[in-house]
Structure formats: C-alpha cells, structure tokens
C-alpha cells in the first residue's frame, strides 16, 4: 500500500534534497524529454498531472507546448467541474479521444482547458503505483485536424508513462523511507531521554537511601536500607546497559551479570576477594523485563548469602557461574555454606526466599533450589541470540 503521508507533488518539489537538483533543473529535464517525445509522436503538447492528497483535483507537474516552447506547472483541474473525465481515467487503461469537443469524457474541459490550448485530440494514460491511481500523462494534438493515435504510438506512450511511473514509485519509496527514518530517529531520541530520566530517578532514590542509611544508628535499619539499595541498583544497571548498547528491547546476560558482580564487590569491599565468578562471554540475551527479574533474583540470592552464610563461615565464598548452550543459559549461583531447606523456609514469613521463587517463575526458569548441605541455586533459562 502507498504511504498516504507522502505527497508526490511535494516530493517532486523537494527532489533536490535527494538528487542535488534544483527544481529549475528538473523542469529543464522535463522540457528536454518533452521535446523529443512530441517530435516522435508528431504532436504539440504533453503534460503530467498528479492527484492532490484527497484526490479531488489533479495538479500539473509540468505542461510543455512545442509551439510556443512554453513550460508551466501547478494548473488545477477539479473533479467537481470535470466528473466524467475523472471517472474515465479511473476506469480506463488509456483514454483515446480523436475529437475532444465531442467526447463525453473531455467536453467538460472545453472552456477552461481545450479552447485556451487549442487541443483537438488527446491520448491520456492513467498513472498507477501498486495499482493505485496517482495521476495521468496527457499527449495532446492541437489545431483543427483530428489525430488517431496508432498502435505503435500507443505502445510508445505507454512506455514513456511506465518510465515516469517507475521513477515516481522510486521517489515515493525514498520519501516514505526518509519519513520512516525520521520517525525512528525521533523515537530513538525519545527512548534515550526516557532512559536518561529513569536512570536519574534511580540514582536519586539510591542517594536518598544512602543518606538515610548513614544518618541511622540502627544496624537493623541500615541493613534493610542497604538491601533495598542493592535491589534498586540491579534495576538501574539495566538502564546503563540499554543506553550503552542502544538496544532497548534486550540485555546481554553475561554483561549484566558481570556488572552486578562489580557492584557486589564495590558495596562490600571486605568480601570482594571472596566473590568468585566464572561467566563465559556470550551473545545470549534476555528481554528487558526478564533481565530486570534476573537481576533482582541474583541480587536477592547474594543478599541472603551475605546475611546468613557469610557470618557463619570463616572460608566464605560466593560464586556465580554462567554457561551457554544454543538458545539457553545455565546459571549456577550460591555459596559454600552448609545450605538450607529452601522449600521449607520459603513458606515462612520472609521476603527474600519467596521473592527468589517468584522471580524464577517470572522468567520461566527451570530451577533447582538449595537443600541441606547444598547452598547453590541452578537456573536453566531460555534466551535469544
């Protein structure tokens, strides 16, 4: 289907933006072609008319008269004043009129077009793009002697019209492509601005939490605020990766996990050397929503490990491993503590473990949870590449 937002007349006038030609240059080219066509067909006038956007009128893109060597454009013929002609070009492949003053389709033009231009015979070929009528090309004989256009002349005129239509179709596609690129560029700028504002809001929220944490003398409140700070950071880091990659629909899994590990070490420098990672570099990605859930999942596991396993183990190690296979990744995450009965404890009055369970379900992960003697989680997650 044609892009209705593209006006071919306006596009013809703005061709210089694409072809580095001025409109005067285009007119000169049309004049030169018109001269050759008129000589070949032994007629005096040729004109090209294009519909206005609502198709209530045709407007001349160029009219050349060999007798006076005059070229003009922007003449207007309305459907309201010439209904039979508009109907004819809508329903005919070609309109052949030996005597324009006696033909039902053209006699309407007698006073405003035929007599002023002394046109006695015409051959009009409707112009179509993808089956849709966009205008008409007119080959006009002047004077008193009628003309019957031969089959060869009709074939020649059809070829000229086809070349013109092909050129207009290419121009239409370029104009539509230009509009699309403009829209995509504007959308990209809007997404970047939204992304920037979201990051700023996250940063402000984290700053407020840190200020409140530093003002508090309650270790319990400080720990709670720090946990929420890390949860928010895991979401903010998504915005960073989206901004850097300029891909706002998906997030690279390995890049994201590496960023989270950096933050864990930065937030808890006292155990930085106890945090181990074995994350392969992969192109596997997750949709943004799933990536946010994964980040919260990993963050929650780390928070629980630091809260419960770290204080009880002198040789504490927290590990994250990532491997990839076809369209899925395998994530192994946990610590070397004594483990616990995840199934039993997750039904208790706690936030962390039920949240981990819900988040794993939200990303459709195949999950293995810790058991007594095993402090590791394993998740098998479907991804895209």
Q: How confident is the model over 97-138, as pLDDT tens digits?
A: 999 999 999 999 999 999 999 999 999 999 988 888 989 999
For 379, other C-beta atoms within 10 Å of its C-beta total 22
**Terminal CA-CA length for the chain:** 33
Which pTM was predicted? 0.51
Strands 275-279 and 318-325: parallel
Cα(207)–Cα(223) distance, integer angstroms: 15
Residue 142, classed as helix, strand or coil, is strand
For the chain, which domains are there?
Answer: 8-179 (3.30.450.40), 249-385 (3.30.565.10)
The per-residue pLDDT string of the chain (385 residues; one tens digit each, 9 = 90 and over) reads: 444 544 444 544 443 343 434 555 667 777 888 888 898 889 999 999 999 988 999 999 899 999 999 999 999 999 999 999 999 999 989 999 999 999 999 999 999 999 999 999 999 999 988 888 989 999 999 999 999 999 999 998 888 888 888 777 776 677 778 777 887 777 777 667 766 676 777 778 878 888 888 888 888 888 888 878 877 877 777 767 666 656 667 888 999 899 889 988 988 899 999 999 999 999 999 988 888 889 889 988 998 898 888 888 889 999 999 999 888 999 999 999 888 889 888 877 676 788 899 999 999 999 999 999 899 999 999 987 6
| Contact of 302 with 264, CB cutoff 8 Å | yes
351: DSSP letter: S
Long-range contacts of residues 74-80, Cβ cutoff 8 Å, at least 24 apart: 77/49, 77/109, 77/112, 77/113, 79/55, 80/56
Q: What are the residues facing 302 on neighbouring strands?
A: none
Q: What are the residues facing 78 on neighbouring strands?
A: 57
Tokens coding 148: 């019957």
Cα(260)–Cα(282) distance, integer angstroms: 16
Using alpha carbons, select from 225, 241, 346 the residue that is nearest to residue 294.
241
| Contact of 331 with 282, CB cutoff 8 Å | no
Q: What are phi and psi of 285, to 5 degrees?
A: -130, 160
């Amino acid at each position: 289907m044609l892009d209705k937002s593209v006006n071919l007349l306006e596009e013809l006038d703005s061709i210089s933006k694409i072809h580095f030609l001025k409109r005067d240059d285009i007119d000169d080219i049309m004049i030169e072609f018109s001269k050759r066509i008129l000589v070949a067909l032994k007629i005096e006038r040729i004109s090209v008319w294009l519909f206005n956007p609502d198709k209530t009128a045709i407007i001349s893109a160029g009219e050349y008269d060999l007798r006076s060597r005059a070229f003009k454009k922007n003449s207007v013929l309305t459907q309201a004043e010439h209904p039979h002609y508009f109907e004819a070009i809508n329903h005919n492949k070609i309109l052949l009129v030996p005597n324009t003053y006696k033909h039902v389709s053209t006699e309407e033009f007698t006073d405003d077009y035929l007599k002023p231009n002394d046109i006695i015979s015409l051959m009009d070929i409707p112009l179509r793009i993808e089956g849709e009528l966009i205008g008409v090309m007119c080959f006009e004989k002047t004077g008193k002697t009628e003309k019957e256009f031969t089959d060869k002349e009709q074939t020649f005129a059809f070829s000229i019209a086809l070349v013109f239509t092909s050129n207009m179709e290419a121009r239409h596609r370029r104009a539509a492509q230009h509009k699309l690129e403009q829209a995509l560029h504007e959308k990209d700028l809007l997404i970047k601005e939204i992304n920037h504002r979201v990051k700023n809001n996250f940063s402000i929220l984290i700053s407020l939490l840190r200020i409140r944490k530093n003002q508090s003398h309650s270790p319990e409140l400080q720990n709670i605020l720090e946990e929420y700070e890390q949860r928010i950071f895991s979401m903010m880091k998504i915005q960073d990766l989206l901004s850097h990659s300029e891909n706002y629909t998906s997030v690279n899994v390995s890049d994201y996990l590496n960023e989270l590990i950096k933050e864990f070490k930065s937030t808890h420098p006292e155990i930085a050397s106890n945090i181990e990672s074995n994350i392969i570099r992969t192109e596997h990605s997750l949709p943004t929503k799933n990536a946010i859930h994964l980040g919260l999942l990993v963050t929650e596991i780390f928070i629980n490990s630091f809260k419960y396993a770290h204080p009880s183990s002198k040789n504490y190690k927290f590990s994250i491993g990532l491997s990839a296979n076809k369209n899925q990744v395998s994530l192994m995450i946990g610590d070397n503590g004594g483990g616990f009965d995840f199934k039993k404890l997750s039904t208790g009055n706690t936030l962390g473990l039920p949240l981990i369970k819900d988040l794993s379900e939200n990303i459709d992960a195949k999950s293995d949870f810790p058991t007594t003697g095993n402090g590791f989680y394993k998740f098998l997650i479907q991804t895209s590449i």
